[in-house]
Amino acid sequence: MAVRYACAVSADCGVSRLPVDPFALAAEAGITLAPLSVISQHPNWAVYNLPSLLRMTSAITLSYPTFCIVYRDEGTDPALLRYALCRELGHLFLNHFRDFPEKMGSRRRSDPVLDAEADAFARNLLSPVPLVDIIRYNRPRQARAVLFGMPRAAWIRRLDALAADRACMDDGMANTLILLYHDFLLGRRCSACGQLFTDSAQQNACPFCGAPDPEWTLS
């Protein structure tokens, strides 16, 4: 289910480039992301244990009075923060807070099943199976954690789960994701003249000077 939800969210929010921007995605979905450095200074702030909770993780979700993801914005590795935010977005998009209120919340012990679903959502949002397959086949040296904006540990887990996640996809889902990332995947830079272009015809040649084998930009 998490694999399908990640695909649906990518399509609904128009995700089309790597690394995925969780801030843009949250804004598109109407989900509030609040930096800890700002809300901790608010005079009405009452969740006194939130800063201590955020020493153990980069982001958590508050469900009252409205859903809001609070993230640690100072001294946090961008890749770790990106994954943590996508993980929290997974909890929200998968309706964990509404369907399992007794298992969610900042003061409750985490549930391994729900956390596993949120992790599956995050890795399939940040590194969709079809993109990983295409890039690993065509440019294996570029198929690394840094390209997808993921922490190294999360990238290793993504590779370990690749076959299982692929089994959850159908051709329609794969084609949807490839279409979303079409321009990104076909972006090229000519090593001879330096021009950037989209190789829509997949001719593998620069349309400006004709030089063969232009490099993927993937950025």
Q: Is 0.85 topped by the overall pTM? A: yes
How far is it, in rounded angstroms, from Cα 193 to Cα 211? 8
pLDDT in tens, the chain (219 residues): 899 999 999 999 999 999 999 999 999 999 999 998 887 777 666 555 565 666 668 898 887 667 889 998 887 899 999 999 999 999 999 999 888 877 776 556 678 999 999 999 999 999 999 999 999 998 888 899 999 999 999 999 999 999 999 999 999 999 999 999 999 999 999 999 999 999 888 898 999 999 999 998 886
Instruction: Tell me the domain boundaries of the chain.
Output: 2-185, 187-219
Task: Give the pairing type, strands 68-71 and 32-35.
Answer: parallel
User: How far apart, in whole angstroms, are the C-alpha atoms of residue 206 and residue 212?
Assistant: 6
Rounded to the nearest angstrom, the gap between the alpha carbon of residue 144 and the centroid of all alpha carbons in its chain is 14
